[in-house]
Amino acid sequence: MRTDIDHLPAAKQRELERIVEILFDEFGQATENATGRRKGARILKIVLFGSHARGDWVDSPLSANQYKSDYDILVIVSQKELTDRAAYWAKAEERLIRAYTIEKTLRTPVNFIVHSLHEVNDGLAHGRVFFMEVAKDGIALYEADSRELATPKPKTAAQALATAREYFEDHYPGAVVWLNTSRDLARQKRPKEAAFLLHQATERLYAGLLLTLTYYTPYNHNIAFLRSLAEGLDRRLHGIWPESNRSERAMFQKLKEAYTKARYSKHYKISEDELTWLGARVEELGRVIHQVCIDKIDELEKAARG
């Protein structure tokens, strides 16, 4: 795996150094009182993947679609227990969000996922495209040792087609059901339940896309993170969520917060107009994702026949 980030501007190199520092700092605090097996808790690798690793990142806040590539980070740990986000990584996530949104010490948003070495190698052994691309294009920002990841075993053309089709047929119809149910609840003047199911439809659409195209989706309900991963796979997904002004950006944030606040907070409010606007964007998201997935399945069908 590569270790150089010389293709990135100096400012981005410094940001990545800061990100690694924050991850280690918060992980160290989360594990300082560990006992038993967890006393040996270690970060084995921190890997930059996605557009910043490949060199095709987009940083165009003044463009029509306001698209800006995030930093995508994979943290590989020594034990599966250490992947528990709430127990070990919530503070790191909070610090990284604060550094970007409030302190402005980071100029680029950060998304990170955490897997054990066994999970990563298992993904490679089962031909999961996501892990294969990380192994191929990823850049190690930190390595506890120089051991390489397992050798990838790509799926056969027939296996790839069957897997993609199964994921798409499982996830897409469910997302449509949740979108339609959300509209029914809005008509019944139950806005909080409508908002929650709209979030669920969005999450399922993004997860279905990621699974269909890469056979992987993170265990994460953060639709901003899923959106970032999805938009990195196909440019047709850019611009679905308008961000030309603060009001439009706030609308996506309201949908993101619906996962918890619409269920548990008496202070969560969403209007009929906001539900209508968000519902239209989720419908458009579904239309584009349907086309992207169908195109991928067609491509896999041709490969399986040929």
- The 10s digit of each residue's pLDDT in 170-223 is 999 999 999 999 999 999 999 999 999 999 999 999 999 999 999 999 988 999
pLDDT surpassing 60 at residue 62: no
Cα 274 to the center of its chain, rounded Å: 25
The DSSP secondary-structure symbol of 166 reads H
Query: Stretch 13-27: mean pLDDT, rounded?
Result: 97
Calculate what percentage of the chain has a pLDDT beyond 70.
95
pLDDT surpassing 60 at residue 64: no
Q: How far is CA 20 from CA 45, 49, 71, 145, 246, in A?
A: 10, 14, 12, 16, 30
What is the reported pLDDT for 40? 74
- Residue 59: helix, strand or coil by DSSP? strand
Residues 99, 22: contact at Cβ < 8 Å?
yes
pLDDT surpassing 80 at residue 10: yes
Calculate what percentage of the chain has a pLDDT beyond 90.
85
pLDDT surpassing 70 at residue 63: no
Q: What angle do CA 110, 1, 150 make, to 5 degrees?
A: 105
In tens, the pLDDT along 204-216 reads: 999 999 999 999 9
pLDDT surpassing 70 at residue 75: yes
Is residue 139 very low, low, confident or very high in pLDDT (cuts 50, 70, 90)?
very high
Distance CA 169, CA 104 (A): 42
In tens, the pLDDT along 79-105 reads: 999 999 999 999 999 999 999 999 999
What is the reported pLDDT for 147? 79
Residues 46, 140: contact at Cβ < 8 Å?
yes
User: What integer best gives the mean pLDDT of the chain?
Assistant: 93
pLDDT surpassing 70 at residue 225: yes
Backbone angles phi, psi at 273, to 5 degrees: -65, -40
Is residue 146 very low, low, confident or very high in pLDDT (cuts 50, 70, 90)?
confident
Domains and CATH numbers, the chain: 10-143 (3.30.460.10), 157-305 (1.20.120.330)
pLDDT surpassing 80 at residue 61: no
Q: At what angle do helices 157-187 and 272-305 cross, to 10 degrees?
A: 160
